[in-house]
A and B are shown apart, each in its own frame.
Chain A
Amino acid sequence: MSRAQVPARVSSNLDGPTRSQPMAGQRRRLSTAQVCFWGAALVAVAFVVASTNGAYSINRSQLMRIVWDAAQGGGNSPEHLVFIGIRLPRLLLGVVAGAGLGFAGALMQGLFRNPMADPGLIGVSSGAALATGVTIVLGALWFPDLPRKLGDWTLVVMAFGGGLAVTAVIYGLAHSGTGTQVSIMLLAGIAINALAGAGLGFLSFTATDEQLRSLQFWLMGSLGGARWSSVGLVAAVVAACVAVGMVMAGKLNAIALGEAQASLLGVDVEYTKRMCVVLTALSVGVITATTGIIGFIGLIAPHCVRMLAGPDHRVVLPGSALLGATLVLTADAVARVAAKPAELPLGVSTAVVGVPFFLLLLRSGKLKT
Protein backbone atom coordinates (compact mmCIF):
# COMPACT_ATOMS: atom_id res chain seq x y z
CA MET A 1 0.00 0.00 0.00
CA SER A 2 2.98 2.23 0.37
CA ARG A 3 3.06 2.20 -3.40
CA ALA A 4 -0.33 3.83 -3.62
CA GLN A 5 -0.11 6.17 -6.55
CA VAL A 6 -0.77 9.80 -5.91
CA PRO A 7 -3.11 11.21 -8.48
CA ALA A 8 -2.25 14.48 -10.13
CA ARG A 9 -5.24 16.06 -8.50
CA VAL A 10 -6.28 15.10 -5.04
CA SER A 11 -8.35 18.17 -4.41
CA SER A 12 -11.45 16.80 -6.04
CA ASN A 13 -12.82 15.16 -2.91
CA LEU A 14 -16.24 16.32 -2.02
CA ASP A 15 -16.40 14.93 1.50
CA GLY A 16 -14.86 17.20 4.04
CA PRO A 17 -12.07 19.74 3.80
CA THR A 18 -9.57 19.12 1.05
CA ARG A 19 -6.22 20.47 0.19
CA SER A 20 -7.06 23.59 -1.72
CA GLN A 21 -3.63 23.80 -3.25
CA PRO A 22 -3.69 23.11 -6.95
CA MET A 23 -1.47 20.21 -7.89
CA ALA A 24 -0.21 20.84 -11.38
CA GLY A 25 0.86 17.43 -12.56
CA GLN A 26 2.77 18.73 -15.55
CA ARG A 27 5.34 20.94 -13.88
CA ARG A 28 8.80 19.66 -13.17
CA ARG A 29 9.11 18.50 -9.60
CA LEU A 30 12.12 17.80 -7.48
CA SER A 31 12.66 14.13 -6.72
CA THR A 32 12.91 12.75 -3.20
CA ALA A 33 16.68 12.48 -3.47
CA GLN A 34 16.98 16.06 -4.70
CA VAL A 35 14.76 17.37 -1.90
CA CYS A 36 16.74 15.50 0.74
CA PHE A 37 20.09 16.61 -0.71
CA TRP A 38 19.19 20.27 -1.03
CA GLY A 39 17.35 20.23 2.29
CA ALA A 40 20.39 18.82 4.06
CA ALA A 41 22.62 21.35 2.29
CA LEU A 42 20.39 24.20 3.47
CA VAL A 43 20.53 22.93 7.04
CA ALA A 44 24.33 22.68 6.84
CA VAL A 45 24.73 26.23 5.50
CA ALA A 46 22.34 27.65 8.11
CA PHE A 47 24.24 25.76 10.81
CA VAL A 48 27.64 27.14 9.81
CA VAL A 49 26.34 30.70 9.48
CA ALA A 50 24.52 30.47 12.81
CA SER A 51 27.57 29.07 14.60
CA THR A 52 29.75 32.09 13.78
CA ASN A 53 27.14 34.63 14.86
CA GLY A 54 26.15 35.55 18.37
CA ALA A 55 26.51 38.02 21.21
CA TYR A 56 29.85 36.53 22.20
CA SER A 57 32.04 37.09 19.19
CA ILE A 58 33.61 33.94 17.83
CA ASN A 59 35.15 34.29 14.38
CA ARG A 60 35.78 31.58 11.84
CA SER A 61 39.39 30.82 12.77
CA GLN A 62 38.47 30.64 16.46
CA LEU A 63 35.66 28.29 15.50
CA MET A 64 38.07 26.03 13.63
CA ARG A 65 40.31 25.99 16.67
CA ILE A 66 37.37 25.13 18.96
CA VAL A 67 36.32 22.26 16.70
CA TRP A 68 39.94 21.04 16.54
CA ASP A 69 40.31 21.21 20.33
CA ALA A 70 36.98 19.53 20.91
CA ALA A 71 37.91 16.71 18.53
CA GLN A 72 40.97 16.09 20.66
CA GLY A 73 38.92 16.24 23.82
CA GLY A 74 40.48 19.38 25.24
CA GLY A 75 40.20 23.16 25.13
CA ASN A 76 39.21 25.54 27.89
CA SER A 77 39.47 29.01 26.39
CA PRO A 78 36.45 31.24 27.09
CA GLU A 79 35.38 30.93 23.44
CA HIS A 80 35.55 27.18 23.75
CA LEU A 81 33.37 27.14 26.87
CA VAL A 82 30.83 29.55 25.40
CA PHE A 83 30.59 27.65 22.14
CA ILE A 84 30.46 24.14 23.55
CA GLY A 85 28.38 24.95 26.63
CA ILE A 86 25.96 27.52 25.25
CA ARG A 87 25.91 28.05 21.51
CA LEU A 88 26.28 24.51 20.18
CA PRO A 89 23.43 22.99 22.23
CA ARG A 90 21.26 25.88 21.17
CA LEU A 91 21.99 25.34 17.48
CA LEU A 92 21.34 21.63 17.79
CA LEU A 93 18.10 22.28 19.64
CA GLY A 94 17.10 24.53 16.75
CA VAL A 95 17.78 21.75 14.26
CA VAL A 96 15.84 19.04 16.09
CA ALA A 97 12.98 21.33 17.13
CA GLY A 98 12.57 22.69 13.61
CA ALA A 99 12.73 19.23 12.12
CA GLY A 100 10.14 17.92 14.56
CA LEU A 101 7.77 20.84 13.97
CA GLY A 102 8.03 20.63 10.18
CA PHE A 103 7.53 16.88 10.23
CA ALA A 104 4.56 17.06 12.57
CA GLY A 105 3.02 19.81 10.42
CA ALA A 106 3.24 17.54 7.36
CA LEU A 107 1.64 14.69 9.32
CA MET A 108 -1.21 16.92 10.46
CA GLN A 109 -1.91 18.41 7.04
CA GLY A 110 -1.89 14.90 5.61
CA LEU A 111 -4.21 13.58 8.27
CA PHE A 112 -6.68 16.47 8.21
CA ARG A 113 -6.36 16.93 4.44
CA ASN A 114 -6.53 20.61 5.23
CA PRO A 115 -3.98 23.28 4.29
CA MET A 116 -4.67 25.22 7.48
CA ALA A 117 -3.82 22.32 9.78
CA ASP A 118 -0.77 22.67 11.99
CA PRO A 119 0.49 20.78 15.02
CA GLY A 120 -1.22 23.20 17.39
CA LEU A 121 -4.60 22.05 16.14
CA ILE A 122 -4.70 18.92 18.27
CA GLY A 123 -4.09 20.98 21.40
CA VAL A 124 -0.44 20.16 22.17
CA SER A 125 0.69 23.79 22.19
CA SER A 126 -2.30 25.27 23.98
CA GLY A 127 -2.24 22.51 26.57
CA ALA A 128 1.45 23.08 27.17
CA ALA A 129 0.83 26.83 27.39
CA LEU A 130 -1.95 26.42 29.91
CA ALA A 131 0.13 24.08 32.07
CA THR A 132 3.04 26.51 31.90
CA GLY A 133 0.76 29.37 32.90
CA VAL A 134 -0.52 27.39 35.88
CA THR A 135 3.04 26.51 36.91
CA ILE A 136 4.39 30.05 36.61
CA VAL A 137 1.43 31.85 38.18
CA LEU A 138 0.09 29.33 40.70
CA GLY A 139 3.14 27.13 41.15
CA ALA A 140 4.42 28.87 44.26
CA LEU A 141 0.95 28.53 45.79
CA TRP A 142 -0.06 25.03 44.76
CA PHE A 143 3.15 23.06 44.56
CA PRO A 144 5.99 25.07 46.11
CA ASP A 145 8.25 22.02 46.46
CA LEU A 146 8.23 21.07 42.81
CA PRO A 147 11.11 23.32 41.63
CA ARG A 148 13.34 21.98 44.41
CA LYS A 149 12.91 18.49 43.05
CA LEU A 150 12.91 19.21 39.35
CA GLY A 151 14.83 22.48 38.99
CA ASP A 152 15.07 23.49 35.34
CA TRP A 153 12.84 20.59 34.38
CA THR A 154 9.79 21.86 36.28
CA LEU A 155 8.30 23.76 33.36
CA VAL A 156 9.33 21.10 30.85
CA VAL A 157 7.59 18.31 32.75
CA MET A 158 4.46 20.36 33.42
CA ALA A 159 4.18 21.65 29.86
CA PHE A 160 4.70 18.20 28.37
CA GLY A 161 2.04 16.73 30.64
CA GLY A 162 -0.37 19.56 29.86
CA GLY A 163 0.11 19.14 26.11
CA LEU A 164 -0.53 15.41 26.23
CA ALA A 165 -3.58 15.82 28.49
CA VAL A 166 -5.28 18.37 26.23
CA THR A 167 -4.50 16.28 23.13
CA ALA A 168 -6.06 13.27 24.83
CA VAL A 169 -9.20 15.31 25.56
CA ILE A 170 -9.52 16.44 21.94
CA TYR A 171 -8.87 12.94 20.61
CA GLY A 172 -11.40 11.56 23.08
CA LEU A 173 -14.04 14.06 21.94
CA ALA A 174 -13.61 13.00 18.31
CA HIS A 175 -13.59 9.31 19.16
CA SER A 176 -16.70 7.18 19.23
CA GLY A 177 -17.69 3.58 18.70
CA THR A 178 -17.54 4.00 14.94
CA GLY A 179 -14.05 5.45 14.93
CA THR A 180 -12.41 8.88 15.01
CA GLN A 181 -13.98 11.64 13.01
CA VAL A 182 -11.34 13.99 11.71
CA SER A 183 -13.77 16.85 11.12
CA ILE A 184 -14.91 16.67 14.75
CA MET A 185 -11.29 16.53 15.89
CA LEU A 186 -10.64 19.71 13.91
CA LEU A 187 -13.56 21.61 15.42
CA ALA A 188 -13.05 20.21 18.92
CA GLY A 189 -9.41 21.23 18.59
CA ILE A 190 -10.34 24.81 17.76
CA ALA A 191 -12.87 24.93 20.60
CA ILE A 192 -10.53 23.47 23.21
CA ASN A 193 -7.72 25.76 22.04
CA ALA A 194 -10.03 28.72 22.60
CA LEU A 195 -10.85 27.45 26.08
CA ALA A 196 -7.17 27.02 26.90
CA GLY A 197 -6.58 30.54 25.59
CA ALA A 198 -9.24 31.82 27.96
CA GLY A 199 -7.60 29.99 30.86
CA LEU A 200 -4.29 31.54 29.92
CA GLY A 201 -5.92 34.96 29.72
CA PHE A 202 -7.31 34.55 33.21
CA LEU A 203 -3.90 33.48 34.52
CA SER A 204 -2.28 36.55 32.92
CA PHE A 205 -4.95 38.64 34.60
CA THR A 206 -4.02 37.33 38.05
CA ALA A 207 -0.25 37.19 37.49
CA THR A 208 2.31 39.54 39.01
CA ASP A 209 4.48 41.61 36.65
CA GLU A 210 7.37 39.20 36.96
CA GLN A 211 5.20 36.15 36.29
CA LEU A 212 3.51 37.86 33.38
CA ARG A 213 6.89 38.52 31.81
CA SER A 214 8.03 34.93 32.16
CA LEU A 215 4.76 33.69 30.72
CA GLN A 216 4.69 36.15 27.85
CA PHE A 217 8.19 35.30 26.69
CA TRP A 218 7.51 31.59 27.05
CA LEU A 219 4.50 31.99 24.76
CA MET A 220 6.66 33.58 22.09
CA GLY A 221 9.19 30.77 22.20
CA SER A 222 12.95 30.77 22.71
CA LEU A 223 15.77 28.32 22.29
CA GLY A 224 17.48 29.99 25.27
CA GLY A 225 16.73 27.03 27.51
CA ALA A 226 19.00 24.75 25.49
CA ARG A 227 21.13 22.39 27.59
CA TRP A 228 22.90 19.30 26.42
CA SER A 229 20.43 17.24 28.46
CA SER A 230 17.37 18.86 26.87
CA VAL A 231 18.90 18.62 23.38
CA GLY A 232 19.47 14.91 23.91
CA LEU A 233 15.90 14.37 25.05
CA VAL A 234 14.31 16.32 22.19
CA ALA A 235 16.62 14.73 19.61
CA ALA A 236 15.79 11.22 20.78
CA VAL A 237 12.04 11.80 20.74
CA VAL A 238 12.04 13.60 17.38
CA ALA A 239 14.27 10.95 15.77
CA ALA A 240 11.98 8.17 16.98
CA CYS A 241 8.87 10.01 15.77
CA VAL A 242 10.42 10.71 12.35
CA ALA A 243 11.45 7.07 11.98
CA VAL A 244 7.99 5.77 12.82
CA GLY A 245 6.28 8.58 10.93
CA MET A 246 8.03 7.78 7.67
CA VAL A 247 6.18 4.47 7.66
CA MET A 248 2.95 6.49 7.58
CA ALA A 249 3.87 8.21 4.30
CA GLY A 250 2.23 5.66 2.03
CA LYS A 251 -0.85 5.44 4.21
CA LEU A 252 -1.23 9.23 4.19
CA ASN A 253 -0.96 9.20 0.39
CA ALA A 254 -3.90 6.82 0.31
CA ILE A 255 -5.84 8.95 2.82
CA ALA A 256 -5.39 11.92 0.47
CA LEU A 257 -7.89 10.11 -1.78
CA GLY A 258 -10.47 10.12 0.99
CA GLU A 259 -10.86 7.89 4.00
CA ALA A 260 -13.29 5.45 2.39
CA GLN A 261 -11.04 5.02 -0.62
CA ALA A 262 -8.01 4.55 1.58
CA SER A 263 -9.76 1.89 3.54
CA LEU A 264 -10.73 0.12 0.30
CA LEU A 265 -7.05 0.21 -0.67
CA GLY A 266 -6.36 -1.76 2.47
CA VAL A 267 -5.09 1.04 4.69
CA ASP A 268 -5.99 0.80 8.36
CA VAL A 269 -7.29 4.36 8.54
CA GLU A 270 -8.11 4.30 12.24
CA TYR A 271 -4.61 3.12 13.13
CA THR A 272 -3.03 5.75 10.88
CA LYS A 273 -5.02 8.53 12.50
CA ARG A 274 -4.10 7.37 15.96
CA MET A 275 -0.43 7.07 15.07
CA CYS A 276 -0.30 10.52 13.49
CA VAL A 277 -1.91 12.09 16.55
CA VAL A 278 0.37 10.22 18.96
CA LEU A 279 3.55 11.04 17.01
CA THR A 280 2.61 14.70 16.75
CA ALA A 281 1.65 14.93 20.39
CA LEU A 282 4.91 13.34 21.53
CA SER A 283 7.30 15.25 19.28
CA VAL A 284 5.60 18.65 19.41
CA GLY A 285 4.87 18.11 23.09
CA VAL A 286 8.51 17.63 23.99
CA ILE A 287 9.64 20.46 21.68
CA THR A 288 7.10 22.93 23.02
CA ALA A 289 7.87 21.95 26.58
CA THR A 290 11.55 22.80 26.03
CA THR A 291 11.29 25.87 23.81
CA GLY A 292 7.86 27.38 24.35
CA ILE A 293 5.55 27.90 21.42
CA ILE A 294 7.25 28.16 18.04
CA GLY A 295 4.37 28.78 15.68
CA PHE A 296 4.16 28.88 11.93
CA ILE A 297 6.96 26.43 11.05
CA GLY A 298 4.64 23.43 11.11
CA LEU A 299 2.22 25.32 8.89
CA ILE A 300 4.50 26.62 6.14
CA ALA A 301 7.28 24.04 5.84
CA PRO A 302 5.02 21.32 4.33
CA HIS A 303 3.46 23.86 1.96
CA CYS A 304 6.84 24.97 0.68
CA VAL A 305 7.93 21.38 0.07
CA ARG A 306 4.68 20.55 -1.71
CA MET A 307 5.11 23.55 -3.98
CA LEU A 308 8.56 22.36 -4.98
CA ALA A 309 8.18 18.63 -5.00
CA GLY A 310 4.52 17.73 -5.19
CA PRO A 311 2.17 16.17 -2.67
CA ASP A 312 3.72 12.71 -2.24
CA HIS A 313 4.18 12.26 1.51
CA ARG A 314 7.35 10.27 0.97
CA VAL A 315 8.90 13.59 -0.12
CA VAL A 316 6.82 15.99 1.92
CA LEU A 317 7.57 14.39 5.28
CA PRO A 318 11.41 14.39 5.16
CA GLY A 319 11.48 17.63 3.16
CA SER A 320 9.36 19.43 5.76
CA ALA A 321 11.65 18.22 8.53
CA LEU A 322 14.75 19.58 6.76
CA LEU A 323 13.10 22.86 5.81
CA GLY A 324 11.71 23.28 9.32
CA ALA A 325 15.21 22.82 10.74
CA THR A 326 16.61 25.43 8.35
CA LEU A 327 13.90 27.95 9.16
CA VAL A 328 14.22 27.59 12.93
CA LEU A 329 18.04 27.77 12.80
CA THR A 330 17.90 30.92 10.69
CA ALA A 331 15.15 32.51 12.76
CA ASP A 332 17.05 31.79 15.98
CA ALA A 333 20.24 33.29 14.56
CA VAL A 334 18.25 36.45 13.80
CA ALA A 335 16.75 36.35 17.31
CA ARG A 336 20.18 36.11 18.89
CA VAL A 337 21.91 38.75 16.80
CA ALA A 338 19.34 41.36 15.77
CA ALA A 339 19.06 43.02 19.19
CA LYS A 340 22.17 41.79 20.97
CA PRO A 341 22.92 41.58 23.83
CA ALA A 342 19.16 41.23 24.22
CA GLU A 343 17.25 38.49 22.49
CA LEU A 344 14.26 38.87 20.20
CA PRO A 345 11.42 36.47 20.92
CA LEU A 346 11.67 33.56 18.51
CA GLY A 347 8.00 33.95 17.58
CA VAL A 348 8.87 37.36 16.10
CA SER A 349 11.84 36.18 14.08
CA THR A 350 10.20 33.00 12.74
CA ALA A 351 7.48 35.18 11.26
CA VAL A 352 10.02 37.70 9.92
CA VAL A 353 12.12 34.95 8.32
CA GLY A 354 9.34 32.56 7.36
CA VAL A 355 6.64 34.80 5.91
CA PRO A 356 8.72 36.49 3.17
CA PHE A 357 10.16 33.11 2.18
CA PHE A 358 6.70 31.61 2.01
CA LEU A 359 5.18 34.54 0.10
CA LEU A 360 8.08 34.57 -2.35
CA LEU A 361 7.49 30.92 -3.09
CA LEU A 362 3.75 31.53 -3.39
CA ARG A 363 4.29 34.22 -5.98
CA SER A 364 7.25 32.72 -7.79
CA GLY A 365 5.11 31.06 -10.44
CA LYS A 366 5.82 27.58 -9.16
CA LEU A 367 2.24 27.63 -8.08
CA LYS A 368 0.69 28.47 -11.45
CA THR A 369 -1.91 25.90 -12.38
Chain B
Amino acid sequence: MVSKSSGKKPRVLFILAHGQSPSVSGENTAASSLIRLIGGVNALGGSGAFSGYRPMTAEAMAAAAPDIILTSTQGVEAQGGEDKFWSRPEMSLTPAFKRKALVHMDAMKMLGFGPRLPKAVRELHASLMSA
Protein backbone atom coordinates (compact mmCIF):
# COMPACT_ATOMS: atom_id res chain seq x y z
CA MET B 1 0.00 0.00 0.00
CA VAL B 2 3.05 2.18 0.24
CA SER B 3 2.89 3.00 -3.42
CA LYS B 4 -0.72 4.11 -3.52
CA SER B 5 -0.95 6.12 -0.37
CA SER B 6 2.26 8.10 -0.59
CA GLY B 7 2.58 8.20 -4.37
CA LYS B 8 6.19 7.13 -3.99
CA LYS B 9 7.44 4.20 -5.99
CA PRO B 10 8.10 1.15 -3.82
CA ARG B 11 11.68 0.00 -3.36
CA VAL B 12 11.94 -3.48 -4.84
CA LEU B 13 14.70 -5.95 -4.13
CA PHE B 14 15.13 -8.75 -6.62
CA ILE B 15 16.60 -12.02 -5.36
CA LEU B 16 17.97 -14.28 -8.08
CA ALA B 17 19.40 -17.22 -6.18
CA HIS B 18 18.90 -18.19 -2.58
CA GLY B 19 22.27 -19.45 -1.43
CA GLN B 20 23.88 -18.83 1.92
CA SER B 21 24.03 -15.19 0.90
CA PRO B 22 21.31 -14.52 -1.66
CA SER B 23 22.31 -13.21 -5.09
CA VAL B 24 20.55 -9.93 -5.76
CA SER B 25 20.27 -7.68 -8.80
CA GLY B 26 22.26 -4.49 -9.12
CA GLU B 27 22.09 -2.13 -12.09
CA ASN B 28 22.20 -3.25 -15.73
CA THR B 29 20.28 -6.46 -15.24
CA ALA B 30 17.09 -7.80 -16.73
CA ALA B 31 15.63 -7.76 -13.23
CA SER B 32 16.52 -4.11 -12.76
CA SER B 33 14.79 -3.17 -16.03
CA LEU B 34 11.79 -5.25 -15.06
CA ILE B 35 11.48 -3.45 -11.73
CA ARG B 36 11.39 -0.13 -13.61
CA LEU B 37 8.79 -1.46 -16.06
CA ILE B 38 6.44 -2.59 -13.32
CA GLY B 39 6.60 0.72 -11.52
CA GLY B 40 9.10 0.25 -8.76
CA VAL B 41 12.65 1.36 -8.07
CA ASN B 42 15.52 -1.03 -7.59
CA ALA B 43 16.37 -1.01 -3.90
CA LEU B 44 20.00 -1.46 -4.90
CA GLY B 45 20.04 1.21 -7.61
CA GLY B 46 21.29 4.76 -7.39
CA SER B 47 24.68 5.88 -6.22
CA GLY B 48 27.20 3.27 -5.18
CA ALA B 49 25.26 0.55 -6.98
CA PHE B 50 26.99 -2.43 -8.52
CA SER B 51 26.25 -3.96 -11.90
CA GLY B 52 24.95 -7.45 -12.44
CA TYR B 53 23.93 -10.04 -9.92
CA ARG B 54 26.04 -10.41 -6.78
CA PRO B 55 25.67 -12.26 -3.50
CA MET B 56 24.87 -9.74 -0.82
CA THR B 57 25.47 -9.84 2.91
CA ALA B 58 22.43 -10.15 5.14
CA GLU B 59 23.16 -6.87 6.91
CA ALA B 60 23.42 -5.01 3.60
CA MET B 61 20.00 -6.40 2.75
CA ALA B 62 18.61 -4.93 5.94
CA ALA B 63 20.35 -1.64 5.13
CA ALA B 64 18.82 -1.58 1.62
CA ALA B 65 15.37 -1.46 3.27
CA PRO B 66 13.23 -2.89 0.44
CA ASP B 67 9.43 -2.41 0.58
CA ILE B 68 8.83 -5.44 -1.62
CA ILE B 69 10.81 -8.57 -2.41
CA LEU B 70 10.62 -9.89 -5.96
CA THR B 71 11.88 -13.35 -6.81
CA SER B 72 11.18 -16.43 -8.91
CA THR B 73 8.60 -19.01 -7.98
CA GLN B 74 11.26 -21.69 -8.37
CA GLY B 75 13.39 -19.89 -5.82
CA VAL B 76 10.56 -19.72 -3.28
CA GLU B 77 9.85 -23.42 -3.85
CA ALA B 78 13.51 -24.31 -3.31
CA GLN B 79 13.32 -22.45 -0.01
CA GLY B 80 10.34 -24.51 1.07
CA GLY B 81 7.52 -22.01 0.50
CA GLU B 82 6.72 -18.47 1.58
CA ASP B 83 6.71 -19.11 5.33
CA LYS B 84 10.17 -20.64 5.25
CA PHE B 85 11.31 -17.80 3.01
CA TRP B 86 10.31 -15.17 5.56
CA SER B 87 11.97 -17.05 8.38
CA ARG B 88 15.42 -16.01 7.17
CA PRO B 89 16.92 -13.49 9.61
CA GLU B 90 17.92 -10.92 6.98
CA MET B 91 14.32 -10.83 5.76
CA SER B 92 12.87 -10.09 9.18
CA LEU B 93 14.74 -6.75 9.33
CA THR B 94 13.31 -5.35 6.07
CA PRO B 95 10.23 -3.15 5.76
CA ALA B 96 8.87 -5.78 3.36
CA PHE B 97 8.73 -8.29 6.20
CA LYS B 98 6.13 -6.35 8.17
CA ARG B 99 3.58 -6.74 5.38
CA LYS B 100 5.01 -10.01 4.08
CA ALA B 101 5.31 -8.25 0.71
CA LEU B 102 6.67 -11.04 -1.49
CA VAL B 103 5.95 -11.13 -5.23
CA HIS B 104 7.07 -14.10 -7.26
CA MET B 105 6.63 -15.42 -10.80
CA ASP B 106 8.05 -18.10 -13.07
CA ALA B 107 11.68 -17.24 -13.75
CA MET B 108 11.58 -17.44 -17.57
CA LYS B 109 8.31 -15.54 -17.84
CA MET B 110 9.70 -12.80 -15.66
CA LEU B 111 13.25 -12.42 -16.92
CA GLY B 112 13.05 -13.96 -20.41
CA PHE B 113 11.93 -10.66 -21.99
CA GLY B 114 10.12 -12.74 -24.61
CA PRO B 115 6.59 -12.57 -26.01
CA ARG B 116 5.12 -13.04 -22.52
CA LEU B 117 6.73 -9.84 -21.26
CA PRO B 118 3.67 -7.52 -21.51
CA LYS B 119 1.55 -10.07 -19.66
CA ALA B 120 4.24 -10.52 -17.03
CA VAL B 121 4.61 -6.76 -16.54
CA ARG B 122 0.85 -6.28 -16.19
CA GLU B 123 0.53 -9.09 -13.67
CA LEU B 124 3.56 -8.01 -11.67
CA HIS B 125 2.41 -4.39 -11.62
CA ALA B 126 -0.94 -5.53 -10.22
CA SER B 127 0.65 -7.64 -7.50
CA LEU B 128 3.13 -4.91 -6.72
CA MET B 129 0.31 -2.46 -6.11
CA SER B 130 -1.59 -4.87 -3.93
CA ALA B 131 1.40 -6.25 -2.07
Contacts and interface: CB of A to CB of B under 8 A. Distances in A.
Interface of A: 54-56, 78, 81-82, 85-87, 90, 136, 139-140, 144, 147-152, 154, 208, 210-211, 213-214, 217-218, 222-225, 227, 291-292, 336, 339-343, 345
Among B50, B53, B80, residue most surrounded by chain A Cβ atoms (within 10 Å): B80
A78 to B, nearest CB: 7
A218 B19 contact: yes
Prevailing SS type, chain B contact patch: mixed
Contacts of B22: 224
Given A210-B17, A227-B89, A56 B60 contact: yes
A151 B84 contact: yes
5 contacts: A55-B60, A56-B59, A148-B81, A211-B17, A341-B44
Interface string B71-85: 010110111110010
Prevailing SS type, chain A contact patch: helix
Interface string B39-62: 000001000001001111111111
Q: How many of chain B's residues touch chain A, expressed as a range?
A: 35 or more
B20 A224 contact: yes
Nearest to B89: A85
Contacts of B53: 213
B80 A86 contact: no
A261 B55 CA distance: 51
Contacts of B128: none
B92 A341 contact: no
Contacts of B90: 86
Given A56-B63, A210-B16, A217-B19, A82 B44 contact: no
A339 B54 contact: yes
Interface of B: 16-23, 26, 44, 50, 53-64, 72, 74-75, 77-81, 84, 87-90, 92-93, 107
A140 B80 contact: no
Given A341-B60, A341-B63, A213 B20 contact: no
Nearest to A154: B80
Among B55, B61, B93, residue most surrounded by chain A Cβ atoms (within 10 Å): B55
Given A213-B16, A222-B19, A152 B50 contact: no
Contact of A217 (B20, B58, B64, B80): B20
Given A210-B16, A343-B57, 18 more contacts: A56-B59, A56-B62, A81-B62, A81-B93, A82-B62, A86-B58, A90-B58, A144-B77, A147-B79, A149-B80, A152-B87, A154-B80, A214-B23, A224-B22, A225-B20, A292-B20, A341-B63, A342-B57
A28 to B, nearest CB: 43
B21 A139 contact: no
A85 B92 contact: yes
B44 to A, nearest CB: 7
Contacts of A82: 59, 62, 93
Nearest to B108: A208
Among B17, B44, B58, residue most surrounded by chain A Cβ atoms (within 10 Å): B58
Contacts of B72: 210
B59 A55 contact: yes
A361 B68 CA distance: 50
Nearest to B52: A342
A211 B93 CA distance: 26
Contacts of B64: 341
Contacts of A86: 58-59, 62, 89-90, 93
